[in-house]
Amino acid sequence: MSENTRETLTITDNRTGKSYEVPVENGSIKATDLRRIKTGPDDFGLMAYDPGFMNTAACKSRITFIDGDQGILRYRGYPIEQLAEKSSFLEVAYLLYFGELPLRSQIDEFARQVLSHTIIHEQTKKFIDGFRHDSHPMGAFLSTVAALSTFYGEGKHIFDANNRLVQFERMVAKMPTIAAFCYRHSIGMPFAYPDGDLSYTGNFLNMMFKATELKYKPNPVLEKALDVLFILHADHEQNCSTTTMRGIGSSHCDPFTAISGAAAALYGPLHGGANEAVLKMLVEIGSKDAIPEFIRGVKAGEGKRLMGFGHRVYKNYDPRAKIIKEVAFQVFEVTGRNPLLDIALDLERIALEDDYFVARKLYPNVDFYSGLIYQAMGFPTEMFPVLFAIPRTPGWLSQWEEQILDPEQRIVRPRQIYLGAGKRDYVPMALRESAVTQTA
Ligand code: SDX
């Protein structure tokens, strides 16, 4: 950019002939600058209309960077490919929250703190036991997470940095325990308590699958695969659930309540519930021969979507999907090949050759292959959104922390374009009735 380039937009309002100069900063304009554009003194001024926030930056962040066209994802500048290969989930959680990779003493202390919080209050079990045995684990999970706010009232002291850190460590620690307890309740198994000798993911597998053995021994391949999957799900900038986390957090409520709202947003099949929807879709397709008919139905708009495909930001292959696909083959070495994989691979091949998907830049996203791995590892399909919420916890809380510390942030309260009725007077019931009979 040459020195004399003015970092501004000049906007001419053709309704009035007036021109306005609006500063450009970080590739954006402040939407509130548009309010200066008025047709007269009583005019509220211009707003930007952006359903789904397709082109609206709601915050400035230094946590996660995505380049959707290039298929790039970085946490605090570190490429996801390197973190998946060389880091661990707890180290990534530390990185997201503190902004830097930890020294040995720092990660050891962080891991020790997290481990010390893995137990949940015995009374919490009463919440979980209160759910029907066949309740969806995500509903039980997010309700129990919300209940944590009633056990840790100090969570409300959100402007106390050390208090925020304690709640961060608590939630990273307790999410696997709550998830596993909700699962065990749904299958009528006694709760398996945390084992301090195991890794973060090893302990989660222990709490999920421990049977009558005295000490559960996680399969190291599955333990590592789950750790990589958790790294890949840890954050993803301003997605639907993180936006919800920031939105709820903007009212200054405690982080437990905010995170239960974020998990609720994640539950939807268009978001974190997509991994469950992918498995159901693959089962519904049933065989490779049925793929063409399924694709036809999607393209014909018969109310179906190719779940696990498409993304608001990635208009290229989701870099996480590439890594997950590799992990799938490692897991299947241990668990045996998931027969649905062949349908998924064929579905991907056919879709990537079909102009409907190519023209819309629809590629596999993080959810397309992850469910196949979870199923092969023994997780029931209904657990899949919970398996998304556990690792997203450090991401949600890091974004929440960043918002609390951001002086430009204020309570979320968007405007609207009102197209409803103008002023009209109340109509007594008798007149309403008579109006109906007259028109009948
Ligand atoms: C996640 O945002 C994040 O970062 C989320 C996430 C994270 O880590 O937090 O990455 C996790 O949520 C991944 C996405 C998981 N969801 C799915 O796999 C569900 C299937 N995908 C979609 O429903 C859709 O692609 C979204 C929701 C992911 C994105 O929706 P957009 O950006 O609002 O796009 P759109 O719905 O406006 O679709 C644009 C066009 C439409 O066609 P036209 O109306 O232009 O003809 O593409 C079509 C859509 O019909 N389309 C699909 C499709 N996704 C979009 N058609 C068939 N199958 C699909 N999956």
Domain map (residue ranges) of the chain = 78-269+393-404, 274-375
Residue 440 has pLDDT above 80, yes or no: no
227: burial class by Cβ within 10 Å (0-12, 13-18, 19+)? buried
Say which of 227, 254, 318, 367 is annotated catalytic.
367
Cβ–ligand 1 contact at 399 (below 6 Å)? no
CATH number of 274-375: 1.10.230.10
Q: pLDDT grade, residue 141 (50/70/90)?
A: very high
Task: Find where tokens 């930007």 sit.
Answer: 48
Angle at 34 between CA 28 and CA 37, to 5 degrees: 145
Q: Which of 312, 313, 314 to mutate to test the pocket of ligand 1 (most atoms within 8 A of CB)?
A: 312
pLDDT digits 0-9 by tens, 202-249 = 999 999 999 999 999 999 999 999 999 999 999 999 999 999 999 999
Residue nearest atom 7 of ligand 1, based on CA coordinates:
236
Residue type, 380: P
What is this structure's pTM? 0.94
Q: pLDDT grade, residue 4 (50/70/90)?
A: low
Residue 258 has pLDDT above 60, yes or no: yes
Across residues 305-333, what is the average pLDDT? Answer: 94
pLDDT at residue 6, as a whole number: 80
pLDDT at residue 378, as a whole number: 95
Cβ–ligand 1 contact at 388 (below 6 Å)? no
Cβ–ligand 1 contact at 305 (below 6 Å)? yes
pLDDT at residue 262, as a whole number: 98
Residue 108 has pLDDT above 60, yes or no: yes
- Nearest atom in ligand 1 to the alpha carbon of residue 272 is 12
Helix 161-186 / helix 137-147 crossing angle, nearest 10 deg = 150
Across residues 356-383, what is the average pLDDT? Answer: 94
Cα 278 to averaged position of ligand 1 atoms, centre (Å): 13
pLDDT digits 0-9 by tens, 274-297 = 999 999 999 999 999 999 999 999
pLDDT at residue 3, as a whole number: 58
Cα 315 to averaged position of ligand 1 atoms, centre (Å): 10
Measure the CA–CA gap between 277 and 138, rounded to whole angstroms: 14
> Which range among 82-96, 251-265, 315-329 shows the weakest confidence by mean pLDDT?
315-329
Residue nearest atom 48 of ligand 1, based on CA coordinates:
360
pLDDT at residue 435, as a whole number: 81
Answer CATH for 78-269+393-404 from 1.10.357.10, 3.30.420.40, 1.10.10.10, 1.10.580.10: 1.10.580.10
Across residues 425-432, what is the average pLDDT? Answer: 93
Cα 309 to averaged position of ligand 1 atoms, centre (Å): 7
Residue 311 annotated in active site: yes
Cβ–ligand 1 contact at 310 (below 6 Å)? yes
78-269+393-404 with 274-375: one CATH topology? no
Residue 45 has pLDDT above 60, yes or no: yes
Measure the CA–CA gap between 98 and 410, rounded to whole angstroms: 23
pLDDT at residue 380, as a whole number: 95
pLDDT at residue 2, as a whole number: 58
Residue 367 annotated in active site: yes
Across residues 34-58, what is the average pLDDT? Answer: 96
Q: Which of 311, 348, 350 to mutate to test the pocket of ligand 1 (most atoms within 8 A of CB)?
A: 311
Residue 117 annotated in active site: no
Residue 434 has pLDDT above 90, yes or no: no
